[in-house]
């Protein structure tokens, strides 16, 4: 009887917990961190390189880095940050149009792995001095 | 002029004193020591604040309006009042001073005047027990203060950007410098070293009637239901219900819809706080309760001033109609509906748990000094801990016999030279009046 009650509780609460979003996916201060300095991400999980090509129709970019070329999809929820730190100016939010060939970028895929392709969680675009 | 004459015993005592100068307790690991120095001294080339500005050791690593009122006007906490570049859209000085609320731009920095939340400062005690969850690390009130991987280690970077900046431009290398990897490691190690390193194992054999009844209610899944989400009065979900890897959980408990919240009553602009995410899911992380009684006010928005009020919150419509309250009611056959006496009993239980933790920390600090005299810092910290224990008990006239012993213990510690052994004896004696069978 006790086990049944316990199971009932577990099922009910699993619904509640199931509504939770994985922790750590929204951090507004990320915008102010220059390319290559995101803690625990830049050294392990992001791709840093230059934009090789842009496909506006498919809303994708190809980024060439030391690890080769990788495609990233710019989804509606992908955040684009303009890294103006080398100008010593405040960083700003950007748009797909700011992703131009030749631009230096850092991409974090939603999967948070370097070996990925697919939707990007955020893209930082360097604004040169 | 009468010159005191020392007997042989007096001379011996002085010789012993001279032979046994104050010493620091055994050094903690280097990385923890380094993190402590950074936490309290490093400004990261910013506006003068350190981590310790909002997490002062002498106030349980948190802020409340009473403590804020003791600070001088040039304290870096008040940079929004003293630095013209931070006068607008950085803090709300009235809400800070009156209610201990800090401004956070958790939903972005595009509209500083209107898009922000006002939050209380969670203490940093027992983080080793409260951050991990099956869904990743849960830091702060809603888990969205940390950039990078969202970890406690990365949280410091977010804090520097949000709170340490010289201007609201927040340009790295101009308005602040970002912590290095080595500094992040050290800051994390220091924070994880603070307070309890493991959860309690309830029930414990409490001596007081009210606290003992409060513990029963707390643990009763049909009455208080508290331990479902505060297992062992900590910050984690009951593993038998939420699974062994659940760890810390995040819930929408309806605090945001409480009527007549103190911040709202001021007439200041206080935008709704939608919790984790953008748009938010209304959820906030579960805080540990062992350290609650001496770290008011309560909830993410400092909406409730007393531990009794915080317990009573779960009786109200705000909680029982909330997503978390509705699931709880469905799973357990009803909402939470404690009578006033039961609220007092649960709060008494939490007060006694808090006092026991104050005593544990005090003994640990004094024993770490070994046979050496404790340093001034240790004396100060122990004195604060004992004072907290006295206050949380005396405010509700709980265990006044133990309170008397705690006062003696505090006096022993503050004596010159400190009488550590005597203090430890008194602390243990006081503890035995609160609960049976606790060693150490």
Q: Closest approach of chain A CAs to the CA of B148, in angstroms?
A: 5
What count of Cα atoms within 13 Å lies in the side-chain half-sphere of residue B83? 21
Q: Given a cut of 50, is residue A16 above it in pLDDT? A: yes
pTM for the full predicted model: 0.92
Nearest CA in chain B to A8: B331
Closest CB to A22 among B136, B157, B241: B136
Whether B110 sits inside 8 A of A23 (CB atoms) is: no
Look up the domain containing A117 and give its range. 24-126
Distance from CA of A64 to the nearest CA of B (A): 22
CB-based contact B352:B290 (threshold 8 Å): no
Q: Is the pLDDT of residue B17 over 90?
A: no
In a domain, residue A11? The reply is no
User: What SS3 class is residue B380?
Assistant: helix
Strands A68-73 and A118-126: parallel
| Residue A61 resides in a domain | yes
Q: Which of A3, A17, A76, A108 is the best mutation test for B, with the most CBs of B within 10 A?
A: A17
pLDDT tens readout for residues B169-220: 999 999 999 999 999 999 999 999 999 999 999 999 999 999 999 999 999 9
Pair B55, B194: CB distance under 8 Å? no
Q: Out of B207-216, B242-251, B350-359, which region has the weakest mean confidence (pLDDT)? A: B242-251
- CB under 8 Å to A47, separation ≥6 — which residues? A63, A65, A67, A70, A72, A106, A107, A109, A114
Helix (H, G, I), strand (E, B) or coil at B429: helix
The reply to whether A72 falls in a domain is yes
Q: Is the pLDDT of residue B18 over 50?
A: no
Using the predicted structure, report yes or no on whether residue A56 has a pLDDT greater than 90.
Answer: yes
Structural domain includes residue A13: no
Looking up residue A36, the CATH number of its domain turns out to be 2.40.50.320
Of the candidates B146, B241, B246, the beta carbon closest to that of A27 is on: B146
Distance CA B169, CA B107 (A): 16
* Domain-wise residue ranges, chain B: 30-124+127-192, 197-247+288-440
Question: How do beta strands A60-65 and A47-55 pair?
Answer: antiparallel
pLDDT in tens, B258-311: 999 999 999 999 999 999 888 899 999 999 999 999 999 999 999 999 999 999
Instruction: Report if residue A45 sits inside a domain.
Output: yes
ipTM score of complex:
0.90
Domain annotation covers residue A59:
yes
Which of B137, B179, B246 is nearest residue A23 as measured by Cβ atoms? B137
Locate B33 and state its tokens.
């020591």
All residues of chain B having their beta carbon less than 8 Å from the beta carbon of residue A28 are 105-109, 144, 278
* B270–chain A nearest CA distance, Å: 19
Q: Could you tell me if A82 and A125 are in contact, meaning their C-beta atoms sit under 8 angstroms apart?
A: yes
Widest pairwise Cα distance in chain A: 71
Percentage of chain B surpassing pLDDT 90? 88
- Chain B interface, best mutation among A9, A27, A79, by max B CB count within 10 A: A27
Domain contains A75: yes
Q: Which helix (H) or strand (E) holds B182?
A: helix B181-192
pLDDT of A3 over the 60 cut: no
Would you state the pLDDT for residue B24?
54
Structure tokens at B29: 């690991």
Name the DSSP letter for residue B416.
S
Eight-class DSSP state of B227? G
**B174, B179, B323 ranked by CB distance to A16: nearest:** B323
A11 burial level (CB within 10 Å; 0-12, 13-18, 19+): exposed
* Count of beta carbons in the 10 Å neighbourhood of residue B257: 16
- Residue B14 confidence class, pLDDT cut points 50, 70, 90: very low
Distance CA B95, CA B301 (A): 11
Burial class for B403, CB neighbours closer than 10 Å (0-12, 13-18, 19+): buried
Q: How many domains does chain A have?
A: 1
User: Cβ separation of B158 and A20 shorter than 8 Å?
Assistant: no
User: Among candidates B16, B99, B119, B59, which has minimal Cα distance to B266?
Assistant: B99
- To the nearest whole angstrom, how far is the Cα of B29 from the nearest Cα of chain A? 23
């Amino acid at each position: 009887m006790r086990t049944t009650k316990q199971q009932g509780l577990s099922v009910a609460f699993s619904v509640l917990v199931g509504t939770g979003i994985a922790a750590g996916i929204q951090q507004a201060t990320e915008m102010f961190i220059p390319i290559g300095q995101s803690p625990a991400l830049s050294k392990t999980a992001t791709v840093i390189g230059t934009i090789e090509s842009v496909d506006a129709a498919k809303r994708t970019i190809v980024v060439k880095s030391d690890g080769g070329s990788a495609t990233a999809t710019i989804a509606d929820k992908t955040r684009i940050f303009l890294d103006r730190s080398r100008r010593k100016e405040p960083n700003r939010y950007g748009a797909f149009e700011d992703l131009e060939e030749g631009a230096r970028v850092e991409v974090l895929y939603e999967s948070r792995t370097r070996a990925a392709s697919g939707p990007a969680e955020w893209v930082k675009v360097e604004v040169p001095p | 002029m009468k010159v005191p004459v020392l007997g042989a015993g007096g001379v011996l005592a002085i010789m012993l004193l001279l032979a046994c100068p104050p010493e620091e307790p055994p050094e903690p690991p280097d990385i923890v020591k380094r993190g402590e120095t950074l936490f309290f001294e490093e400004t990261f080339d910013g506006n003068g604040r350190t981590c310790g500005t909002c997490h002062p050791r002498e106030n349980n690593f948190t802020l409340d309006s009473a403590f804020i009122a003791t600070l001088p006007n040039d304290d870096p906490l008040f940079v929004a009042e003293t630095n013209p570049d931070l006068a607008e859209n950085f803090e709300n000085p009235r809400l800070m001073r009156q209610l201990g609320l800090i401004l956070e731009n958790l939903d972005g920095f595009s509209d500083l005047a209107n898009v922000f939340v006002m939050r209380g400062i969670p203490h940093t005690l027992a983080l080793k027990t409260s951050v991990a969850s099956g869904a990743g690390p849960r830091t702060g009130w809603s888990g969205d203060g940390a950039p990078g991987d969202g970890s406690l280690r990365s949280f410091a970077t977010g804090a520097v950007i949000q709170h340490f900046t010289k201007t609201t431009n927040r340009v790295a290398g101009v308005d602040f410098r970002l912590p290095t990897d080595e500094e992040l490691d050290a800051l994390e190690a220091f924070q994880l070293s603070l307070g309890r390193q493991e959860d309690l194992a309830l029930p414990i054999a409490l001596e007081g009637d009210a606290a003992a009844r409060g513990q029963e209610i707390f643990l009763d899944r049909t009455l208080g239901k508290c331990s479902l989400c505060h297992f062992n009065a900590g910050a984690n979900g009951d593993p038998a219900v939420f699974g062994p890897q659940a760890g810390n959980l995040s819930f929408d408990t309806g605090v945001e819809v409480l009527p007549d919240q103190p911040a709202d009553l001021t007439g200041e602009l206080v935008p709704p706080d939608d919790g984790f995410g953008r748009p938010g899911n209304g959820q906030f992380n579960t805080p540990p309760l062992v350290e609650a009684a001496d770290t008011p006010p309560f909830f993410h928005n400092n909406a409730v001033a007393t531990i009794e009020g915080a317990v009573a919150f779960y009786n109200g419509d705000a909680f029982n109609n909330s997503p978390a309250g509705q699931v709880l009611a469905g799973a357990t056959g009803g909402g939470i509906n404690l009578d006033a006496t039961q609220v007092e009993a649960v709060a008494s239980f939490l007060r006694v748990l808090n006092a026991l933790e104050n005593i544990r920390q005090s003994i640990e600090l004094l024993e770490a000094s070994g046979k050496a005299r404790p340093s001034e810092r240790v004396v100060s910290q122990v004195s604060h801990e004992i004072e907290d224990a006295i206050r949380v008990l005396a405010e509700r006239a709980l265990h006044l016999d133990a309170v008397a012993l705690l006062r003696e213990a505090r006096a022993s510690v503050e004596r010159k030279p400190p009488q550590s052994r005597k203090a430890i004896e008194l602390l243990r004696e006081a503890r035995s009046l609160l609960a049976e069978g606790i060693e150490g």
